[in-house]
Amino acid sequence: MFEEIQPAPADAILGLTEAYKKDPRPVKVNLGVGVYQDEQGHTPILGTVKEAEKRILAAAKTKTYHSISGTPEYGKCVRELMAGEGHELVSGGRACTAHTPGGTAALRIGADFLKLFAQDATVWVSSPTWANHKGIFTAAGFRIKEYPYYDAVSKGLDFEAMKKALRKVPAEDIVLLHACCHNPTGVDLTPEQWKEVSVLARDAGWLPFVDFAYQGFGGGLEGDRAAILALAGEIPEMLVASSFSKNFGLYRDRAGALTVMASTPERAAAAFSHVQTRIRVSYSNPPAHGGLIVQTILSDASLRKEWLNELSAMRNRIASLRAHLVEGLRAMKVPGDYSFIQKQHGMFSFSGLNDQQVAYLRDQKAIYMVGGGRINVAGLNDSNMKYVCESIAEAVAQKK
C-alpha cells in the first residue's frame, strides 16, 4: 500500500522550524513560527504557569477521563476572557464552550460541526491568511474562497474591498475572521470597523467563525475583545476558536477552546451536542493539563494580576522590537518606508519582502521567515537585530 507514496511537502510554518534546527551554520535566526522569544532567544515558561503547575500537581488526585468538552469551569473562564466579566455570553446559556487541544483543534472541530449542517457552504478566508486555515477547512471538506484584506500598496487594510466582498457572501456561507493580530499581516480592524462588519454580517446573514489566537498581544485583553463584542451585539450565531498557546505560552500543552453561540440557550445546547459528537470521533476528550493551568491562573486574583503583567511585558517587548527594526532598516538605508511595521499588531510583521528575497535570506544568511515575507518580530533581539537588518538590506539590493 505504501510503495507508491511520495513524501508530502514540508509544512509552510512548522517545517521551517525543522529546517532551522538542522541548519549547521553557526549564525542563524528563526523568524518563522509564531512563538514568543525573550532577549536570549528562549521561549520561557511564564512564572504564573510554573506556580499554577505546582498547585495542580499538589492537588492532583486522578487521571481519569475528562468529559468530552472539558469542565464547565474552564468554559466559563474562556468566555470571561473572551467577552469580559459580566457579559451575557459568560453565563447567559447562549454560548457553550468545549475545551480543545489548542486553537487548531478548535478550528477543526468547529469545521467538522459546521460540515454536518452546512454541507454546501463555502468558507471565506482573508487574503492572505494563516496557511493552516485553508488546510483545516479543506480537510473538513469545505470549498475555500478568499475575500480581499491586505493592501500591498498602503501596507494596510483594504477595508472598502473587504466590505464589498463580504456584502456579497451568500447567507449560507461561513466567513473566517481574525479577532486581532491578523496572521500573517499584523493588520487589524479598528473597533469602529468591527461594528461595520458586524452590521454587514447581520444584514448578509453569513456565519462568522472567529479565530482568537492572540488575545492580549494587540490592544491588550480588553482592546482585543472588540471583534467579539461587536459581533455578539449584532448577530445571533457565531463560532469562536480560542488559543492559549501565545498569551499563556502553553504552545506544547495544547490549550484552546471552541465556543458556539446561538440565539437561545436551547439552540446553543442542541448545536453543542453535535460539537461533542465531533470531538468524540476525533480525540475523544481533551488533555487536561494545559486547560487546568489557564483555569488556575484566571481563577486566582493574584495569579491573574501577575499573568496580566507577564502578558504586557511580552506585548511591550514586541512593540519595542518593531521600533528597533524600523530604525535598523533606516540606518542600513534599505530603500522604502518601513514605518508601517510599527503600525502592525501582534507577533507578526508582513515585511513586504518578496519570495525571492525570503529565499535569499534563508539560503545565504540562514535567516528563516515564512513565504510571503512574514516575520515573527519576537524572534529578534539585540544580538541578531544588526545582522538581520544588514541581511535584509543585501536581499533587497540583490532581488528587486
Question: Cell triple for residue 318?
Answer: 514586541
Residue 128 Cβ vs ligand LMR, minimum distance, rounded to whole Å: 12
Q: Nearest CA to 338 among 323, 348, 358, 357?
A: 323
CB of 245 to ligand LMR, least distance (A): 7
Catalytic residue among 112, 124, 130, 307: 130
**Helix or strand holding residue 145 (H, E):** strand 143-148
User: Which one, 30 or 296, has the nearer CB to ligand LMR?
Assistant: 30
**CB closer to ligand LMR, 34 vs 68:** 34
Helix, strand, coil % over all residues of the chain, rounded to 5: 50, 15, 40
Q: In whole angstroms, what is the distance from residue 262 CA to residue 224 CA?
A: 22
State the residue for C-alpha cell 494587540.
Answer: 218
d(CA 121, CA 64): 38
Residue 84 or 372: the one with the smaller Cβ distance to ligand LMR is 372
Distance (Å, rounded) from C-alpha 33 to C-alpha 207?
Answer: 29
Residues of this chain that interact with ligand LMR (CB under 6 A) are: 13, 33-34, 130, 132, 183
Residue 336 to residue 338: CA distance in whole angstroms: 6
**Least separation in angstroms between CB 244 and ligand LMR:** 12
Q: Is 343 a catalytic residue?
A: no
Q: Which residues contact 32 (CB under 8 A, 6 or more apart)?
A: 13, 16, 17, 20, 368, 369, 370, 376, 379
Residues facing residue 208 across a β-bridge = 175
Q: How many other CB atoms sit within 10 Å of the CB of residue 24?
A: 6
126 versus 296: smaller Cβ distance to ligand LMR: 126
* 307 vs 368 by CB, closer to ligand LMR: 368
246 is catalytic: yes
State yes or no: is 211 an active-site residue: yes
CB of 37 or CB of 132, closer to ligand LMR: 132
Task: Map residue 312 onto helix, strand or coil.
Answer: helix
CA nearest neighbour of 224 among 205, 243, 249: 243
For residue 275 the three cell numbers come to 460539537
Marked catalytic residue, from 211, 224, 253, 307: 211
d(CA 45, CA 269): 36
238-243 and 256-261 strand pairing? antiparallel
Q: Say how far apart CA 247 and CA 293 lie, in whole Å.
A: 12
Q: How far is the CB of 217 from ligand LMR (least distance, A)?
A: 12
Catalytic residue among 173, 246, 307, 365: 246
Nearest-angstrom CA–CA distance, 377 and 105: 25
Task: Pick the closer one to ligand LMR by CB: 14 or 397.
Answer: 14
Cα torsion angle, 177, 182, 187, 188, sign: positive
Q: Closest distance between ligand LMR and the C-beta of residue 103, in Å?
A: 8
Q: Cα–Cα distance between 46 and 137 in angstroms, integer?
A: 32
Report the nearest approach of ligand LMR to the CB of residue 33 (Å): 4
Q: How far is the CB of 280 from ligand LMR (least distance, A)?
A: 24
Query: How many other CB atoms are there within 10 angstroms of residue 65's CB atom?
Result: 10
Active site (catalytic) residues: 130, 211, 246
